[in-house]
Amino acid sequence: MERSYAITLKNETQSEQAERNPIAGSGTPTQNGDSGGVASWRKGVAKGIVTFNSYVMPFVDQLVTQRISTISLRTGAEELQEKASFVYSAIKTGVGLIESVLIGGLVGNLPGAIIGGLMSISTTAISYANKAQTLNLQRSVESMSLRNMEIRAGGSLATFSGSRGRSQ
């Protein structure tokens, strides 16, 4: 009883490669048959965002930052300058979050938008944590510096507690 087996190899990757060109923007139709309606719209929005961030935002950022940084010099109101700087920073953070969600949505639909938003929020949280750590370190250094200046000036905890008064 002899059995014969046949192994057949079929190269089906050729047709897939023709549909999915590895070169971005090659204009080949996508797998679902959309020849560019939604894909070209997404591509146009993405180009618009990149163009805006690369060419327009640097000019706007410089102008606004310069105006904010000179509020104290022009008006003498340092608190107003700090508030304006905080508001501008918050606006930039919000715009960055919206951009991340939008670009994530363009690239990966709903999951991409969620991931883009989470990445933006986590980056902002890390930034705030770093700023808080820097402020705590500055507070600690300032406290030590004040303590050392007090000791050099002749005052210390022992002096103020009345320890010298009892022995004299």
> Residue 42: its pLDDT value, please?
82
Give the residue with greater pLDDT, 14 vs 6.
6
> Residue 49: its pLDDT value, please?
85
Assessment of whether the complete model's pTM goes beyond 0.75: no
pLDDT at 25 over 60: no
Give the residue with greater pLDDT, 105 vs 38.
105
> Residue 163: its pLDDT value, please?
52
> Residue 10: its pLDDT value, please?
76
Report residue 108's pLDDT band, with 50, 70 and 90 as the boundaries.
confident
Q: Are 28 and 19 in contact (CB under 8 A)?
A: yes
Residue 99: exposed, middle, or buried by beta-carbon count in 10 A (0-12, 13-18, 19+)? Answer: middle
Report residue 4's pLDDT band, with 50, 70 and 90 as the boundaries.
confident
> Residue 9: its pLDDT value, please?
74
Region 14-31 average pLDDT:
53
| Per-residue buried b or exposed e for 107-128, using 16+ beta carbons within 10 Å of the residue's own CB | eeeeebbebbbeebeeeeeeee
pLDDT at 86 over 60: yes
